Amino acid sequence: MLVPVLFIFLVQSATAQNYRLNDSEYARMPPLYHWDGYEECFDEPDAMYCYGEIVLVSDEPNEMLTMTQEFSKNFRHYNHTLLRHFYCMKKTCSEFYNVSESEVDLRWSFEACSNKTIYNKYKLKTKLTDVLDCSKRDRDQPIDNLDIFVGVVCILIIMANLVGSLCDCYLDKGKERGVLKILYHFSISRNWKKFVAPAGEGRDPRFNALKGIHGIRAITICSVIVTHACFRFGVAIVNPKMMEEFFENIFYTMFMSGSLVMQTFFVVSSFLLVYNWLIDSETLPLSWRMLPQQVILRWLRLTPSYALIIGLTVTWFSRLAPGGPIWAKAIYYEKRDCRHDWWKHILYVNNYLDRSSCMLQTWYLAADTQLYIFGVIIFLLCRTNLTRKVVLSFFFVVGIIVPMLHTYYEELEGVLISTPEVALNLFSGHRTFDKVYSRAHTNLPGCIIGMALGYIIYNWQKAGGDPKRFQKYRYFYWCSFLAGCMVLSSSYILFYEGPPQPAYVHMLYAGLQKPAFALVIATIIAGVVIQFEGIYRAVLEWRPFVFIARLSYSAYLIHIPFIRTQIASIRNLQRVVIIDVILQNMTTLLSILIAAFFFCMLVEMPSVNLLKHVFKKPHHEPQDVKTDKETKNSEDKNKIEDASQTKADDGTIVIKM
Ligand SMILES: *[C@@H]1O[C@H](CO)[C@@H](O)[C@H](O)[C@H]1NC(C)=O
Ligand SMILES: *[C@@H]1O[C@H](CO)[C@@H](O)[C@H](O)[C@H]1NC(C)=O
Ligand SMILES: *[C@@H]1O[C@H](CO)[C@@H](O)[C@H](O)[C@H]1NC(C)=O
Ligand SMILES: *[C@@H]1O[C@H](CO)[C@@H](O)[C@H](O)[C@H]1NC(C)=O
């Protein structure tokens, strides 16, 4: 009850000042885009097409500029003092442009040209920022050694798939020897069978209860993809006013602050870590050897697919979109940075090293890996209920306070919200994203809540807890979806029209919003695992979700290259219409899932199979050559790997995503 009241109060108290413009005032501002036709430009020989970002300036006070600056101060508006001009130099800027120009001259002629276009109409001048990208028709992309190397790797993988599948079909199944045995791991028909196998068939009935988690993961990955797919509608549009109006609506704010949804993955993965390991530890003694073992297993599990995507990003993906007005911004800068920074990704430290626009979305893989190591250490360290309570509470509080301090001292925003301007830049160089959103230590609360949930549910089941006892709370439980929506849309307060909120409000949001959302997710998971009601379970255990959940790692890896290619292919300003956005996003989602399916079949599953192959010793191996101790050790090891592999099939080991 308190929350809605507080909510309404804050919204009402924030209406002091009005930054709204009526239509005629809005139309007085220079349009955000000037866009010359791209294809037509190249009808002439030696044509040059330039994209530059320019800032409005004025030597004397200018009423319209002041109005524009005031209007742009609001987070929910585009920065209307920063214009994006796309010139066909020979047409629009013919009087300043000289075919034989150097780069410095190009900057000069672009600025002179934009001065002229803007001055004629608005009596304002302009200054070119650092962003200027000019190109002739075809982007120069010579094929280098790296391209050839990655190309060869891809061809080898596809050949392995073909040969493996053919052998699997036509050769005698009994004779699996040597190389063939390895090739079989690439067999599409085998992998297909694994892909469609029913979920949750574990050694322990308790694993069956985890089925609903597939649904949670599937819904989360789909919403992540759809949110990212929206970026392309922020990039080059004729009607920015409409985008800005989205933000007036509390309903849309929910989507715009969708970045919180990633907390779900942190909760799920740490919950599974603790819950699965507790069950395993009934049959298997814990030892510190498991720390390096599990970290290496996890690294091997994630890295092959990831490395292939990095390899393709620095080579062939940039050729999917053959040049366009925003090609450099959408694709090229990422490719350039990734050629430097790939090792940060392979070591999973990219979320702590800023100033790179290489694969920003993979902050999650790094943060989750770091939190996984943290989780394993805590798990192995705290063996009694008391130490668990103390240590988890301690880190929970740390996890709340640290983001607050970051937000205060580094003057950040309290939440990461994809405002129009942020979406345009695809988060690169966004300070809140770099300093708070993508770090591991600022995402601790989600991890702690997941771990605590694992302990609580395990202990409750062990003590013979009775699901029926919870039935009287089911109405509260059904409200949890609503509560999640409320936590998401509460970001509205920070961005409401009016004066900026004071720093302490931002601090509170930075500290409390993530744990609040994580708690809601934990509640939903608890209900699904305890199985005391039918509605949420029926939805989340829907069978197709299992398949989507199995695709989640592949889909997460490939969805951004896909969307970047879409953005790079934009040739015209587009008019955003809601129904188009919905339909096109659905199409994008579907195509990404299909592409992810192929990636999963051809690359991800074979790599997991190989991992199993290498680590799993055949059980019928003669053991008499080993000493007793060795035998015991290797059996232990087999068990651990068996356990983690079984889970790997369900996609719940080292939660893939
Ligand atoms: C918009 O606002 C301006 C200044 O406040 C006013 O002069 C103008 O008449 C308004 N236009 C409309 C269409 O309301
Ligand atoms: C708009 O962009 C310009 C140039 O990057 C920047 O100087 C200015 O502070 C921005 N305005 C707002 C309100 O963010
Ligand atoms: C173009 O460049 C050439 C050589 O640099 C120069 O002679 C000529 O005057 C320039 N033309 C214009 C329009 O600036
Ligand atoms: C454009 O206008 C700005 C601001 O007055 C000025 O600094 C700049 O030199 C002008 N650029 C050109 C090429 O005239």
Model confidence pLDDT, tens digit, residues 84-129:
889 888 888 888 887 777 777 888 888 888 888 888 888 888 888 8
pLDDT at 553: 93
> 112 in ligand 4 pocket by Cβ < 6 Å?
yes
pLDDT at 366: 93
> 100 in ligand 1 pocket by Cβ < 6 Å?
no
pLDDT at 202: 62
- Tokens read off for 649: 């099939």
- pLDDT(290) > 60: yes
Rounded Cα gap, residues 508 and 612, in angstroms: 46
pLDDT at 3: 53
What mean pLDDT is reported for the chain? 83
- pLDDT(626) > 70: no
DSSP letter string, 140-156: -----HHHHHHHHHHHH
Q: In percent, how much of the chain has pLDDT > 90?
A: 32
> 420 or 413, which is more confident?
413
Pick the closest to residue 263 from 640, 525, 531 (CA basis): 525
> 609 in ligand 2 pocket by Cβ < 6 Å?
no
**114 CA → ligand 4 middle, Å:** 9
Give the ligand whose atoms come closest to the C-alpha of residue 118.
Answer: 4
* pLDDT, tens digit, 9 for 90 and up, residues 207-247: 778 888 999 999 999 999 998 888 888 788 888 888 888 77
pLDDT at 254: 79
* pLDDT, tens digit, 9 for 90 and up, residues 3-21: 554 555 455 444 434 467 8
Please name the residue whose Cα sits nearest to atom 8 of ligand 4: 127
Measuring from each residue's beta carbon to the nearest atom of ligand 3, which residues come in under 6 Å? Answer: 98, 100
Which atom of ligand 3 sits closest to the CA of residue 95? 13
* pLDDT, tens digit, 9 for 90 and up, residues 116-171: 888 888 888 888 888 888 888 767 778 889 999 999 999 999 999 998 888 887 77
> 57 in ligand 2 pocket by Cβ < 6 Å?
no
> 531 or 390, which is more confident?
390
Give the pLDDT band (50/70/90) at residue 2: very low
* pLDDT, tens digit, 9 for 90 and up, residues 500-510: 788 888 999 99
In the chain, the N- to C-terminal Cα span, in Å, equals 35
Mean pLDDT value across residues 584-593: 95
> 392 or 434, which is more confident?
392
Which atom of ligand 3 sits closest to the CA of residue 99? 1
CB atoms within 10 A of CB 95: 9
Q: For residue 425, give Cα distances in angstroms to 331, 334, 357, 559, 624.
A: 12, 12, 10, 17, 63
Interhelix angle 290-313/628-650, rounded to 10 degrees, is 40
Kindly list the domain boundaries of the chain, sorted by start residue: 23-135, 142-238+287-324+542-615, 239-265+383-533
- pLDDT(636) > 50: no
547 phi/psi in degrees, rounded to 5: -70, -45
Q: For residue 418, give Cα distances in angstroms to 234, 244, 252.
A: 10, 12, 11
Give the pLDDT band (50/70/90) at residue 250: confident
Q: Out of 29, 55, 74, give the residue to mutate to test ligand 2, the one with the largest number of ligand atoms within 8 Å of its CB.
A: 55
- pLDDT(182) > 60: yes
Cα 207–chain centre separation: 27
Cα 105–chain centre separation: 40
Give the ligand whose atoms come closest to the C-alpha of residue 26.
Answer: 1
**Where is 274: in which H helix or E strand?**
helix 263-280
Give the ligand whose atoms come closest to the C-alpha of residue 95.
Answer: 3
Give the ligand whose atoms come closest to the C-alpha of residue 97.
Answer: 3
* pLDDT, tens digit, 9 for 90 and up, residues 335-381: 889 998 899 999 999 989 877 888 888 999 999 999 999 999 999 99
> 542 in ligand 4 pocket by Cβ < 6 Å?
no
The SS3 of residue 86 is: strand
